[in-house]
Chains A and B, each alone.
Chain A
Amino acid sequence: MNLQLLAFMILSLVTLGAAFKVITARFITHAALYLALSFVGVAGLFLLLNADFLAAVQLLVYVGAITTMLIFAVMLSQVEEIRQGAAEEGFWRRILSARFGVIPLAVAAALAGVILYLYRFANWKAVPVAPDPNTTRSIGQAMFTTYLIPFEVASLVLLVAMIGAIVLTMKKEDRSR
């Protein structure tokens, strides 16, 4: 067994194991942390594909930003409602019960069917291309020459997002100051 296959198997195991714990964890905060671990595994898989910039983006955006937003969403929501059910019954009893289990299982089975169908019958056009030796450099080269205007517009989009967030979360009495 070569080293790359071994690395792939370890990373897949971490990704899938963490993803499984996301849906079976007792507390939703633990589920969010397992989701972060799953994202780290995906970042490792990107590294194996020689996509080092994509791996860095995966770590920064998914592990950093998305997980933070998720944890804050949990912190700001009424957790008592979420905790009933999940913490008291446990995952397996819930998934086997008719009330909670049938629809998620049906959706998961349908999705798995579509993925397997695509994997088996889709017409993949495999063109052997040598991987880019330095993806970050190529992306930078394109971003700062050809796609200069979209790059600068991206900062405006971020600015709008930030001001929008401030306006939406500030209360009226805070805003008057």
Chain B
Amino acid sequence: MVNFVDLTVFLAIGILLPAAMMGAGALLRPQRPGKVKLEPYECGEIPVGDARIRYHIRYYIFALVFVVFDVETVFLYPWAVIWKSLGLFGFVEMMIFLGILVIGLIYAWKKRVLEWI
């Protein structure tokens, strides 16, 4: 049985710490908002147009590749837990599983979808 008290404490600190930091900042700093200050930051450039534009389909492939490897991670969890008791057999099993997915990565690499143009 996993001890969820640790998790709750961790979660509480994770929420409280940034809230306290931002709250303290809001109380201490002078409040002088201006038109220039409220502009979105675009590396020093003056922002042009709306942020909600239609993006190029090319970005979608990064999302799809991420999703595939995300699902792969799901399978890694139970494997990592019983890895020692499975021995060499389990290791070979997972290497086959990962190897098949690496073929996909090599395919993406060869098709140059990972390159920025």
Residues of A within 8 A of B (CB): 7, 27, 29, 47, 50, 52-53, 56-57, 60-61, 64-65, 68-69, 72, 75-79, 83, 133-134, 136-137, 139-141, 143-144, 148, 151-152, 154-156, 158-159, 161-163, 165-166, 169-170, 174-175, 177
Flag B66-94 by CB within 8 Å of A: 1 or 0 each: 11101111110111011000100010010
On whether the beta carbons of B78 and A76 are closer than 8 Å, the reply is: no
- Taking CB atoms, residues of chain A closer than 8 Å to B60 are 72, 76, 165, 169
- Taking CB atoms, residues of chain A closer than 8 Å to B112 are 174, 177
Residues of B within 8 A of A (CB): 1-2, 4, 7-8, 52-55, 57-61, 63-68, 70-75, 77-79, 81-82, 86, 90, 93, 96-98, 100-101, 103-104, 107-108, 111-113
On whether the beta carbons of B66 and A50 are closer than 8 Å, the reply is: no
On whether the beta carbons of B82 and A75 are closer than 8 Å, the reply is: no
- Taking CB atoms, residues of chain A closer than 8 Å to B104 are 158-159, 162-163
- Taking CB atoms, residues of chain B closer than 8 Å to A166 are 61, 64, 107-108, 111, 113
Residue of B nearest to A66 (CB): B67
The 8 Å CB contact of B54, one of A79, A161, A175, is: A79
